[in-house]
Amino acid sequence: MTGLTRRQFTTLVGAGAASLAAPTYLRAQGKPRVVVIGGGAGGATAAKYIAKDSNGAIDVTLVEDSDSFTTCFFSNLYLGGLRDFQSITHSYDQLISAYGITKVTGRASAVDRAAKTVTMADGATLAYDRLILSPGIDMIWDSVPGYSQADAEIAPHAWQAGPQTELLKARLDAVADGETIVMVAPPNPYRCPPGPYERVSMMAHVLKAKGYTGAKIVVIDPKAKFSKQGLFQAGWEKHYPGMVEWYGPDIHGGIKTVNAGAGTVETDFDTFKGALLNVIPAQKAGAIADGFADDSGFCPIDAASMRSTMDEAVFVIGDASIAGDMPKSGFSANSQAKIAAMNARGDLTDSKVFPAKYSNTCWSLIETDDGVKVGAQYEPKDGKITSVVSFISQTGEDAALRKATYEESLGWYSGIVADMFG
């Protein structure tokens, strides 16, 4: 699966009203109504496919609190200086103009399941016949001792793309030779399992490109192992020898406290001081989905439809869901969105609903033209989304294959953003 093009991805894998300033939203009369909360890989895709495949028979409203969307996927390449910020930021204009989707720019604050309404922060309400929740993740701030939301302006997490990403980039570019970057990695489950380690690679790429032979990156990880560990560690040794130090819990013994102002992470093993702290806390479903989450902080779903197990009129997709073997990734969210869209459309128009099949691939860049990947195909089995076929890059692959894998990821990125927003 190399050389993936935009057109190929789309095969694998919505004249709308602009958002209104007043706390009342004009709605099409007589049509069934779908409200989608969250305009990322899950939400934008779901809104588009419902609008497109219903041929205007369903009134679709997309709620997102920003005018554009910055992808977390490929944000590490921005940190590494391989892409600019504009290239990972995308407009909703095509969804509005081409697919008849109403875009409401604002924050959804509550769901009334009995009344089937969404209340906005400005007091407006949106009625729905089906609701699709794709709110992404929120941080569990106190999961890292001593860390707080305010500290994120000093020690950025950058795990919700946008200003945090730009802040981390600025802080990274200010690191001098001989200084240390300290990352606190997140515990499972979290958005994009290989993401922290691709970020380490791209930070190392920046330091190496500047000729910084004395700079170091220290990773304090609550996990004993991580996604693509063998591939990343072999890559670090090959491209950045002696620069990256990874400490699992059997070595550091646990984090006692983080002091963002002092730039320190105190563990049972040692106190690490960095010119840059990148602290990524534990995560949960975005707050609007709280009423659909279990004790894990994420939302259980029906594996065959992405329907909430707590309400048949509600679907939960993307990072907020408990999706069995599927990781929390942009590719996963895009795949799940199409299943939820198909089922919501079937509910409201009696259209054909086909058996669910899901897919995911996660690409990571270790160094220029050195790309690796992991992925799988999934089906509902025994009440769970289950991997049925999987693959992963191997250590020792030749340079041509690694370059082809990286180029494949570029095709995928172009394809998925076209699928989401085009």
pLDDT value for 22 = 33
Q: What is the pTM of this model?
A: 0.92
Name the band, by pLDDT with cuts 50, 70 and 90, for residue 21: very low
Over residues 264-295, the pLDDT tens digits come to: 999 999 999 999 999 999 999 999 999 999 99
**Fold agreement between 6-136+286-421 and 141-282:** yes
pLDDT value for 30 = 86
Over residues 211-258, the pLDDT tens digits come to: 999 999 999 999 999 999 999 999 999 999 999 999 999 999 999 999
Q: Does the pLDDT at position 27 exceed 70?
A: no
Q: How far is CA 161 from CA 68, 205, 252, 261, in A?
A: 11, 20, 29, 23
Q: What class has domain 141-282?
A: alpha beta
- Neighbour tally for 37: CB within 10 Å: 27
Name the band, by pLDDT with cuts 50, 70 and 90, for residue 86: very high
Q: Does the pLDDT at position 199 exceed 90?
A: yes
Express as a percent the part of the chain with pLDDT over 90.
Answer: 93
Given its phi and psi angles, is residue 327 left (phi above 0), alpha (psi -120 to 50 degrees) or beta? beta
Name the band, by pLDDT with cuts 50, 70 and 90, for residue 306: very high
In this prediction, residues 116-134 reach a mean pLDDT of 98
Q: Where are the alpha helices (DSSP H) in 131-228?
A: 163-173, 195-209
Q: Does the pLDDT at position 19 exceed 60?
A: no
Sequence spans of domains, the chain: 6-136+286-421, 141-282
For residue 186, give the DSSP letter.
P
Over residues 349-388, the pLDDT tens digits come to: 999 999 999 999 999 999 999 999 999 999 999 999 999 9
pLDDT value for 225 = 98
Over residues 138-152, the pLDDT tens digits come to: 999 999 999 999 999
The third-level CATH classification (topology) of the domain covering 6-136+286-421 is FAD/NAD(P)-binding domain (3.50.50)
What is the average pLDDT score of the chain? 94
Indicate the angle between helix axes 229-239 and 195-209, nearest 10 degrees.
0
More reliable by pLDDT, 238 or 14: 238
pLDDT value for 29 = 60
Q: How far is CA 40 from CA 18, 92, 160, 332, 386, in A?
A: 18, 10, 11, 12, 24
Q: Where does residue 89 rank: exposed (0-12), middle (13-18), buried (19+ CB within 10 A)?
A: middle
Residue with tokens 């496919």: 49
